[in-house]
Amino acid sequence: MDSILVRGGGKLSGQIPIAGAKNACLALMPATLLSDEPLTLTNAPRLSDIRTMTELLSSLGAEVTSLQEGKVLAMASHGPINTRAEYDIVRKMRASNLVLGPLLAREGHAEVSLPGGCAIGARPMDIHTDGLAKMGAQIDLRDGYLHAKADGGKLKGAVIDFPFASVGATENIMMAATLAKGTTVINNAAREPEIVDLADCLRAMGAQIDGDGTSTVTIQGVDRLHGATHRVVTDRIELGTYMLAPAICGGEVELLGGRIDLLAAFCEKLDAAGISVSETENGLSVTRREDQIRAVDVTTEPFPGFPTDLQAQMMALLCTANGTSVLEEKIFENRFMHAPELIRMGADIEVHGGTATVKGVSKLKGAPVMATDLRASVSLILAGMAAEGETTVSRVYHLDRGYEHVVTKLRGVGADIERIKS
């Protein structure tokens, strides 16, 4: 298995291009199942999660062609559709559950494997299934698969109150509702930029959706959707991750394609920590104002709050802050697995339940560490860039799920990092 070798030290300078959002693209791709006309996505990221979704959609009978080295995905679902999403593919990635809504909307029935456990928490699917049940679907769990069937073969509009603003459930219900009979209202919907991006794409396909980006999304069902071409929104998590590189190492880096509105709460915390973020013609520029980072407290929340997907990377920054920071994880129950690895690098962190207390130390020290999930793995790379000596991050397949060309991008701004092939 490959690993990543990082030697800490120097300041960074230069530019990093930010890719299209993994999480947006994973929701946009299943939208191809809603129409028999072609759907083309541009600005797609080149990631193993996108290849997994390609494999899943192909197994369902969709055609997915990767063009321009993967930056363009040309999709079409005009042939017969297989409605069974197999465990062997679904288990690789939770976002596979996003085919449930589109399959049910198009074919009136679907059998989708439950994704199973995931390192950062249990992540059930009750919000998705309760919503679809309100729209007239009968859903049973048998043999590890959700067997869903729409009453009379067609979903009906409904008013759905989410107990929590789940991103995936908002996406699934929104897609299902585009072809349902009547109007669907989602109350307490997720407001993430990826939801707005999906709504933009669905509207380009002829869907009638209002209120995306707010807590109440209204979808008026239509008889059919047509083809479209859509550009995937900037990846705000990749953006935030690379914003932390000059914050941790010093120097100045421009993030091409970066937008503050995608990460306002995160930018506020960076400012409080002593990091300046300014808008440039082509994106955002990030630089550290003082020699030492200031401690800040962080609580993860649904958008527009501080994203859980940047909590591990922020912790890497705060390990060398002047003072004590408290990080509260409110979205996932088990998302501090990077803490023991950071402690191996000399960090002073105590975890109690969903709270991590980080006492800043003057310097981290390089060590062999192990990535436990996608965001944890990149937090260890960031920590390695700030540490004295060498850090080897193993199990980097997690990284390949969500960061394209991470080594090239960081080397481009002067980081001493390489991938060691096994």
The catalytic residues are: 118
Give the binding range for ligand UD1 (CB under 6 A) out of 125-133, 179-187, 262-270, 352-360: 125-133
Q: Scan for tokens 């105590």, then name that residue.
A: 350
Q: Considering the complex, what minimum distance in angstroms separates the CB of residue 136 from ligand UD1?
A: 18
Strand ranges for 77-222 from DSSP E:
84-85, 109-113, 137-142, 145-150, 159-161, 183-187, 208-210, 216-220
Euclidean distance between CA atoms 83 and 37, whole angstroms: 18
State which of residues 68, 79, 164, 187 lies at the interface with ligand UD1 (CB under 6 A). Answer: 164
Size of the site for ligand UD1 (CB under 6 A): 21
CB closer to ligand UD1, 23 vs 40: 23
Cβ atoms of residues 29 and 421 within 8 Å? no
Euclidean distance between CA atoms 85 and 250, whole angstroms: 46
Q: What three-state secondary structure class fits 239?
A: helix
Burial (Cβ within 10 Å: 0-12, 13-18, ≥19) of residue 265: middle
Which residues does residue 358 pair with via DSSP β-bridges, in sequence order? 325, 349
Q: Considering the complex, what minimum distance in angstroms separates the CB of residue 204 from ligand UD1?
A: 20
State which of residues 167, 315, 317, 393 lies at the interface with ligand UD1 (CB under 6 A). Answer: 167
State which of residues 168, 274, 366, 414 lies at the interface with ligand UD1 (CB under 6 A). Answer: 168
Token pair in block for residue 243? 């914003």
Q: Considering the complex, what minimum distance in angstroms separates the CB of residue 22 from ligand UD1?
A: 7
Euclidean distance between CA atoms 370 and 270, whole angstroms: 26
CB closer to ligand UD1, 24 vs 293: 24
125 contributes a contact to ligand UD1 by CB under 6 A:
yes
Give the binding range for ligand UD1 (CB under 6 A) out of 28-36, 162-170, 246-254, 262-270: 162-170
259 contributes a contact to ligand UD1 by CB under 6 A:
no
State which of residues 124, 144, 153, 182 lies at the interface with ligand UD1 (CB under 6 A). Answer: 124
132 contributes a contact to ligand UD1 by CB under 6 A:
no
Which residues does residue 41 pair with via DSSP β-bridges, in sequence order? 73, 230
169 contributes a contact to ligand UD1 by CB under 6 A:
yes
Q: Scan for tokens 């800040």, then name that residue.
A: 296
Q: Considering the complex, what minimum distance in angstroms separates the CB of residue 122 from ligand UD1?
A: 6
323 contributes a contact to ligand UD1 by CB under 6 A:
no
Q: What three-state secondary structure class fits 13?
A: strand
User: How distant, in Å, are the alpha carbons of 149, 211, 419 from that of 410?
Assistant: 48, 38, 12
Q: What three-state secondary structure class fits 40?
A: strand
401 contributes a contact to ligand UD1 by CB under 6 A:
no
Q: Considering the complex, what minimum distance in angstroms separates the CB of residue 162 from ligand UD1?
A: 9
95 contributes a contact to ligand UD1 by CB under 6 A:
yes
94 contributes a contact to ligand UD1 by CB under 6 A:
yes
Length of the chain: 422
Token pair in block for residue 282? 């082509």
CB closer to ligand UD1, 125 vs 339: 125
CB closer to ligand UD1, 12 vs 371: 371
Q: Considering the complex, what minimum distance in angstroms separates the CB of residue 144 from ligand UD1?
A: 16
**Contact letters for ligand UD1, residues 20-49 (x by CB under 6 A):** ---x--x-----------------------
90 contributes a contact to ligand UD1 by CB under 6 A:
no
Give the binding range for ligand UD1 (CB under 6 A) out of 106-114, 140-148, 166-174, 284-292: 166-174
Cβ atoms of residues 106 and 78 within 8 Å? no
- The helix (H) or strand (E) run that includes residue 17 is strand 12-17
Cβ atoms of residues 222 and 206 within 8 Å? yes
Strand ranges for 22-134 from DSSP E:
39-42, 63-67, 72-76, 84-85, 109-113
Q: Would you tell me which residues interact with ligand UD1 (CB under 6 A)?
A: 23, 26, 94-95, 121-128, 164, 166-169, 308-309, 331-332
